[in-house]
Amino acid sequence: MSEQFTIATFYEFVPLESLSKLKESLLELMAEHEVSGTIIVADEGFNSTVSGKQANLDKFLSRVFKLFGANPKVNFSTHDSPGFKRSKVKIKKEIVTLKKKVNMEFARGTHVSPSEWNKIILEPGTIVVDARNDYEYRIGTFKGARNPETESFSELPDYFEDRDPQTPIAMFCTGGIRCEKLAPYLVEKGFANVYQLEGGILQYLADTDSSESLWVGDCFVFDDRIAVDQDLNKGSSVDFSTEKELSRKKQ
C-alpha cells in the first residue's frame, strides 16, 4: 500500500500584522512538521493549500491557527504523494486578487450548504455562475453553469456590469474564497439575491453522493494532482497537454 498524504485547504479574512515576521514563523513550522505547499498572507487574511502526513499536519494546523488567531474551516483530501515539491509563504496585497475595494464587513452573500445547493441552482430564473477561470471551467463545472470566460479573477466583476441586479445569482468556486470576496462586492453594487456555495466545490463533492450530484467532470485543484474527481481522487480527464498548460498557469 502506498504512503498516504493529507492535503488541506483553508482560508479566512482576518486582519494580520507584521507579515514578514509571520512569514518566518510559518516557514519554520512547515519545516518542523514536514509540511509542503503554499500559504498566502496579506493584511486581509490568509489563503492556503498544504500537505503532509496526517499526524504532522494536525499538529501543524493547530499551531498555525493559534498564530493566525483564527479557526477556519478546512477541506481535507488524501493523495499518494505530497502534492507539492516545496514549502512557500507568499506576502501579497490580497489573498485572492480582485483588484476592487471590498468592505467585507458591510455586506455578505447568502451561504448555501451543499445539501441545499441543488435546489438553489435548479430554481427557474437563477443564474448559476462559475466564479473560476475559463481553464478551470473546461475541466468540470455544475450542470447549467455559465462560464464568464475569464483568465483571472480580477476580470470577473466586468461580467456583472450589465446584469439586472434583481436577478438571483448563485455562484461557486473551488473552496469558497473567491465567492467570499466577490459576494460583498456584488451586494454593494446593488445585487439583491447573491448566493454562494458554502465550502466551495470541494465541500460539495465531499458531502454529496455521486447519484445526486449535479457536478459534471473533474475539479481543478492547486496542487500536483491538477484535478480531482467526484470522490476527491486524482482525476483522469486531464490530458498531458492540458496538464502542462494548467501547471504553467498555477505558477
- Dihedral of the alpha carbons of 196, 199, 200, 203, in degrees to the nearest 10: -140
Q: Taking a C-beta distance cutoff of 8 angstroms, is the pair 119, 230 a contact?
A: no
State the sign of the Cα–Cα–Cα–Cα dihedral 102, 103, 109, 113. positive
219: left (phi over 0), alpha (psi -120 to 50) or beta: beta
Q: Render the burial of 158-168: b for 16+ CB within 10 Å, e for the rest.
A: eebeeeeeeeb
Query: Which of 64, 169, 173, 219 is flagged as catalytic?
Result: 173
- How far does CA 17 lie from the centroid of its chain? 23
**Is residue 251 within a helix (H) or strand (E), and if so which, with residue range?**
none
Q: Taking a C-beta distance cutoff of 8 angstroms, is the pair 26, 67 a contact?
A: yes
Round to whole Å and give the CA distance between 195 and 187.
Answer: 10
Q: Specify the pairing of strand 87-91 against strand 36-42.
A: parallel
Active-site residue 173, yes or no? yes
Round to whole Å and give the CA distance between 217 and 228.
Answer: 9
User: What are the residues facing 128 on neighbouring strands?
Assistant: 170
Which residues are designated catalytic? Answer: 173
